[in-house]
Structure 1
Amino acid sequence: MKIEIQNLCKTIKKVPILQDITVTFESGKIYGLKGKNGSGKTMLMRAISGLIIPNSGTINIDGEILGKDISFPRSIGILIENPSFLGNYTGYKNLEMLASIQNRIGEDEIRETLAEVGLDPDDKRTYRKYSLGMKQRLGIAAAIMEKPDIVILDEPINALDESGALKVREILWKLRDNGSIIILACHDAEELNLLSDEIYHIAEGKITGHEVAEHNENTENQKKAES
């Protein structure tokens, strides 16, 4: 799978937010987006998710033009900004309702995903009683439970302790190894470098640089060291 973005531009109230973005993302890689607040990272992720309509340019996902051939990517998991769920329902029930939209997975997969992110599938607490870290884990679970081809995460380790961050790393590496395209933004430069295969620098809505992450040759050793 490929996501090919050509000359993407987005303006809001005459203010340019994305300017002539051209980049390709391929299966089996984790791509980090690095930049200050307001640089355009989140807007680019929203555009790829089909949540905003660009003023010009194209997003081609395996031969289908987003906004023309398809309204949204066919297989995508998203966590952009803060996760939001129904406060009076348990984590399991929230995921069950989300899963019923596509009807691609059932109880076993939901329970497995909750356990994978470090949440108890049988926890009877409602979402409103979750800690910030638990809410973040549930947001990650919602994004990855259907094992999507594209995963887009904004600050995936936000509010997580070290054990939670480790679980997220392991999940993302596993998804990457199974062929997903993963695009993420993270203010922690060390964490971004650890998670990513490639990093794109964004400033004032433009891609200003590209680098291969330093850990690339030692990913397996780092996985073992943290397990």
Structure 2
Amino acid sequence: MKTIIRVENATKKFKNIKVFSDLNLEIEKGKSYGFVGYNGCGKSVLFKCICGLAKLNKGAIYYQDKLIGKEQDFISDAGVVIEAPEFLNDLSGFKNLKVIANIKKLISDHDINEALKLLGLFEYRDVKVGKYSLGMKQKLRLVQALMEKPQILILDEPMNGLDKSSVEKVRGILKKYIDEGGTLLLTSHNRDDIDILCEKVYEFDDQQLKLEKG
């Protein structure tokens, strides 16, 4: 398998508090990775650094052998759910996605609608996001992550706010994505998500990553 993400001697701290220190990691194309650990251990921060949304204090992260922050600002072909993206409450779900799709101009209105159908949001496509429930907003975040058919998905707690049937649906979507050659990086407070979806699992332990499975 080809390594597509390399994390080398990465250190991140806030003021004098280290989140992780001299961390090393390799992500191979077409594999699924889970990251576990207590709240605040560094999972979300690591994902932000990998995406290019936060800078390391020391070390380097490469995507497709290009240095994040120097040779590329961020991973351009990733679908990302980290924290809550700021949707425009006065626009409909469809129009919010259209604004995002217009940045890269990779997909059509049809593609957006198909992604909405996948997550069960098509019938709410014209409803303003301000009227969406928390679960519907989370589904919309997943739609925006999936709709451009990215090579890699970086999902931080993607099941938050979803009911049991929606969780099962999302697991099925992600399984299919992996089976078709996609690469998944996942955190979840529900260990079942990690065990079902991830062939490799890393646990944050004392500012480092310990291979727990795989």
TM-score normalised by structure 2 residue count: 0.94
**Aligned partners of 1:199 and 1:50: how far apart in 2?**
22
Match of 1:162 among 158, 161, 164: 164
- Contact 1:176/1:182 (<8 A) preserved: yes
**Aligned partners of 1:107 and 1:200: how far apart in 2?**
38
Aligned length: 212
Displacement after TM superposition at 1:142 (Å): 0.6
Q: Which runs of 5+ in 1 are unaligned?
A: 213-227
The 5 Å alignment of 1:38-187 reads 38-120=40-122, 123-187=125-189
**Aligned partners of 1:47 and 1:60: how far apart in 2?**
11
Displacement after TM superposition at 1:11 (Å): 1.4
Residue of structure 1 in register with 2:204 after alignment: 202
Give me the CA root mean square deviation. 1.4
- Structure 2 residue matching 1:128: 3-state secondary structure: helix
**Aligned partners of 1:121 and 1:59: how far apart in 2?**
41
**Greater mean alpha carbon deviation, residues 110-119 or residues 20-29:** 20-29
CA gap of 1:39–1:129, structure 2 versus 1, over 3 A, is same
- Output the amino acid matched with 1:115: K
**Aligned partners of 1:84 and 1:172: how far apart in 2?**
24
- Structure 2 residue matching 1:72: 3-state secondary structure: coil
- Structure 1 residue matching 2:122: 3-state secondary structure: coil
- Structure 2 residue matching 1:135: 3-state secondary structure: helix
Displacement after TM superposition at 1:166 (Å): 1.6
What CA deviation, in whole Å up to 9, does each residue of 1:48-96 have, x standing for no partner? Answer: 1000110111111111111121111121111112343110111111001
**Percentage of matched positions with identical amino acids:** 37
**Aligned partners of 1:79 and 1:122: how far apart in 2?**
21
TM-score normalised by structure 1 residue count: 0.89
Residue of structure 2 in register with 1:216 after alignment: none
**Aligned partners of 2:23 and 2:81: how far apart in 1?**
22
- Contact 1:9/1:56 (<8 A) preserved: yes
- Contact 1:118/1:167 (<8 A) preserved: no
- Output the amino acid matched with 1:35: G
**Greater mean alpha carbon deviation, residues 22-31 or residues 108-117:** 22-31
Match of 2:39 among 32, 37, 40: 37
Q: Which runs of 5+ in 2 are unaligned?
A: none
- Output the amino acid matched with 2:154: I
**Aligned partners of 1:205 and 1:127: how far apart in 2?**
38
Displacement after TM superposition at 1:179 (Å): 2.1
What CA deviation, in whole Å up to 9, does each residue of 1:4-59 have, x standing for no partner? Answer: 11111111112111211111111111111100001000000000100011011111
**Aligned partners of 2:124 and 2:40: how far apart in 1?**
40
- Structure 2 residue matching 1:11: 3-state secondary structure: strand
**Aligned partners of 2:136 and 2:198: how far apart in 1?**
24
Displacement after TM superposition at 1:122 (Å): 5.6
